[in-house]
Amino acid sequence: MRLDAATAALLTLPPLFWAGNAVAARMIVGDVPPVALSLARWVVAFALLLPFAGPAAVRHRAALMRHWRILLAIGPLGVGAYNTLQYIALQTSTPMSTSLIASSSPVFILALGVVVFGERTRRAQWIGAALSIAGVMLVMARGDLANLAQLAFVPGDLIMLVANLTWTLYTWLLRRHRPDLPFAPLLLVQMAIGIVAIAPFAALEAVLSPARIAWSGSVVATMLYMAVFPSLIAYWCWDVGIRRVGAVIPVYFANLTPVFAAVLSMWLLADAPRLYHLIALVLIIGGIQLAGRPGR
């Protein structure tokens, strides 16, 4: 189907909610340990989704059992590792920087497809990849290339790069081996497996770190936001959008995430974007658009 106004509005919501997720996590740094935050987010989201998707998961239990190997892989990667690493990254990085780095995921997907899955590529794709990587490096250098020579990186930016790698592997596994199941029970099972994967690390964090959750109204509201909007509504909107217009067009909407992150950071965190953020955004989006152009 062609992209209409309703579908465009639907696809605009996920990047808005994902940007809000990054800003919200930054707002409660110091109040909630990052791994505990990831665990709490998905436990609440699982509890909210269970009454609706649970019966469907029971009906499709035979199919779920047939695909247990791929589910055991994508659950820890997509739900467990990526989101936990993002929250750890936000302890030292900013929502704008982590969102910009995350928006380069298509480049990581391209590279992994060539190296691991033997995908064929075009020269334009590699030029686009180079532009996007340049944008990522500019963010990591905080606009000063001298920082690259001195390896003066913000730790959170490096952690976000690792998170990108986990999301890239998750995307390829889902693209190649997605179980033929409805969206809701598939997401529910991924959540359950991801929660089991996060739990030991949350326990380890509780033992090794003196930080504890400082419960307050704002912390509870933030956790509820994370569980409902970026975890459930955004995933549903994304799935409906892909079913309407395919898998290519939504990628360009995902690049709105750093734009929304910049606006929300200015509004909620008084964290004004810098010139290098804008330059990096142009490089990353330009590179992805160039890489995504169809060949002759």
Q: What string of pLDDT tens digits covers the 296 residues of the chain? A: 667 888 888 888 988 998 899 889 988 988 999 999 999 999 999 999 999 999 999 999 999 999 999 999 999 998 899 989 999 999 988 887 887 787 777 677 777 777 776 767 677 767 776 776 777 677 667 677 676 665 556 889 889 989 988 888 887 887 778 888 888 999 999 999 999 999 999 999 999 988 889 999 999 999 999 999 999 998 888 888 877 876 556 666 777 777 788 778 777 777 666 777 778 778 777 766 665 555 55
Q: Are 15 and 260 in contact (CB under 8 A)?
A: yes
Q: Provide the pLDDT for residue 153.
A: 65
Q: Provide the pLDDT for residue 294.
A: 56
The range of the structural domain enclosing residue 129 comes to 5-292
| 3-state percent helix, strand, coil for the chain, nearest multiple of 5 | 80, 0, 20
Q: Who's near 132: CB < 8 A, 6+ residues apart?
A: 104, 106, 107, 283, 284, 287, 288, 291
- Number of residues that make up the chain: 296
Q: Provide the pLDDT for residue 68.
A: 92
Q: How many domains does the chain have?
A: 1
Measured between alpha carbons, how far apart are the two ends of the chain, in Å? 23
* Burial zone of 58 (CB within 10 Å; 0-12 exposed, 13-18 middle, 19+ buried): exposed
